[in-house]
Amino acid sequence: MSAVDQPKMLDLATEDPIAVMELFAEHGWGDGLPLVPPTIERVEAMLAGTPDTDPDEVIATLEPRGGLATRRMIAVNAVLAGCAPEHLPVLVAAVRALAAPELNLRGVNATTHPVAPLLIVHGEAVSAGGYNAGLGSFGPGNRANASTGRAVRLILLHIAGATPGPGDASTQGGPAKYTYCVAENEAASPWGAYPASVGVDAAGAVTLHCGEGPHNVHDMESADAGAILDKVASAMTSLGQNNAPISQGEYFVALCPEHAAAMAKMGLDRADVAQWLFEKAQMRVGDLRRAFALRAWAPWQEELDDDALMAMTEVPDNIKVFVTGGAGKHSCVIPSWGMTKSVTVPV
């Protein structure tokens, strides 16, 4: 091989970060943003976030490439994203969740839909990693949220092979594909931690929900929980969502503390909220049929008359409720891609 043919190499320990970024761009690596050079020293320091473990343990096999996500490779991508060592346990748990069969990572990565895995951090992992569960929880300004969400995307790019084109067919993509991480505001939740509601009893946990970006729900006036929930239901009823033609689609409802408090004051628990939305977020069956020749409905749904009303998902349990954010009466709805189920695992 001549000198011209040889790939460009850099000393990651001494090279300017811009040069490292340019090298990565030449190879089609990274997400287009500046990267932290993953030196041996930085990767070893990151691995200290999960001490007394085998760094070359395969945590999961990630589709569509079938890439092996070892603890070391997760650490490399964590360094690239700007994570701190205390974020590595959350990322390892997130990778385990991504590989769960019901999440359907191959479909999530290969679809033309702009789906992105939302990582929700719960319990002790929130304080241990410094995650923001309060004001601006979905937004910028917090290293833990931003870098951990970004690391998930880099893992999908570099290990799973979800690169635009050969591994990610999303028609337009979306900003959630850069970083999508939020923390549950358990202290402000009237119903306790979300993981317990899905049978996960752990001090710290993560949830992966593969869906769209957040759809804002604005209600500054209502003290009545019913009026708030009716607005949430209105945000769930759209022919443009993938959930409309798919019976198993999930909705994650991220309530702000003030909206959640209004519901608790009315005596509603988490299951009551889901049931209310199931009964209110409905559309006329004939309108849905005309919109979708190709449907993945349950048999009983196909038997309904055109004039009947049908819920946007098959069962109330597909509506998941958690609390995040700070002051101000804004909540959001996050519809799923449709052919996926959320996964919650311990950290």
The predicted-structure confidence for 228-271, as pLDDT tens digits, reads as follows 999 999 999 999 999 999 999 999 999 999 999 999 999 999 99
| Percent above pLDDT 70 for the chain | 96
| pLDDT at residue 3 tops 70 | no
User: In this structure, are 149 and 278 located in the same domain?
Assistant: no
pLDDT at 117: 98
pLDDT at 162: 97
pLDDT at 252: 98
The 3-state DSSP class for residue 58 equals strand
**Confidence band of 8 (pLDDT split at 50, 70, 90):** low
User: In this structure, are 151 and 76 located in the same domain?
Assistant: yes
- Distances from the Cα of 87 to the Cαs of 73, 125, 207, in angstroms? 14, 9, 15
Q: Is 208 part of a structural domain of the chain?
A: no
Residue 271: exposed, middle, or buried by beta-carbon count in 10 A (0-12, 13-18, 19+)?
middle
pLDDT at 101: 98
User: In this structure, are 91 and 140 located in the same domain?
Assistant: yes
Helices and strands, number each (H, E), in the chain: 13, 12
User: In this structure, are 146 and 279 located in the same domain?
Assistant: no
Strand order in the sheet with 251-255: 215-218, 330-335, 251-255, 319-323
Q: 9-17, long-range: CB within 8 Å, 24+ apart, which pairs?
A: 12/37, 12/38, 12/39, 13/37, 13/39, 13/40, 13/41
- Tell me, rounded to whole angstroms, the distance of Cα 190 from its chain centroid: 23
- Round to whole Å and give the CA distance between 86 and 47: 10
Angle made by CA atoms 9, 48, 40, in degrees to the nearest 5? 15
pLDDT at 5: 41
- Specify whether the CB–CB gap between 46 and 38 falls below 8 A: no
| Percent above pLDDT 90 for the chain | 90
**Crossing angle, helix 40-47 and helix 71-81, to 10 degrees?**
110
User: In this structure, are 329 and 256 located in the same domain?
Assistant: yes
User: Which DSSP symbol is given to 9?
Assistant: -
Between 237 and 20, the more confident residue is 237
pLDDT at 30: 95
pLDDT at 12: 61
Tally of domains within the chain: 2
pLDDT at 7: 45
User: In this structure, are 7 and 76 located in the same domain?
Assistant: yes
Q: Which two tokens stand for residue 317?
A: 């349990």
Beta-carbon-side half-sphere exposure of residue 90 (alpha carbons within 13 Å):
34
Q: Does a cis peptide bond (omega within 30 degrees of 0) precede residue 64?
A: yes
- Round to whole Å and give the CA distance between 156 and 322: 25
- Round to whole Å and give the CA distance between 301 and 285: 9
pLDDT at 4: 41
Mean pLDDT, to the nearest integer, of 174-189?
98
User: In this structure, are 85 and 167 located in the same domain?
Assistant: yes
- Round to whole Å and give the CA distance between 267 and 270: 10
Q: Is 203 part of a structural domain of the chain?
A: no
| pLDDT at residue 290 tops 80 | yes
* Domain carrying residue 135: 1-183
Among 128, 162, 183, the domain-final residue is 183
Q: Is 207 part of a structural domain of the chain?
A: no
- Specify whether the CB–CB gap between 158 and 193 falls below 8 A: no
- Specify whether the CB–CB gap between 176 and 118 falls below 8 A: yes
Q: Is 193 part of a structural domain of the chain?
A: no
| pLDDT at residue 137 tops 70 | yes
Query: Using alpha carbons only, how large is the chain's radius of gyration in Å?
Result: 21
| pLDDT at residue 116 tops 90 | yes
- Distances from the Cα of 274 to the Cαs of 105, 129, 136, 251, in angstroms? 26, 30, 24, 10
User: In this structure, are 127 and 27 located in the same domain?
Assistant: yes
**Confidence band of 18 (pLDDT split at 50, 70, 90):** confident
pLDDT at 17: 79
| pLDDT at residue 285 tops 90 | yes
- The mean predicted confidence, pLDDT, of the chain is 94
What is the pairing mode between strands 319-323 and 251-255?
parallel
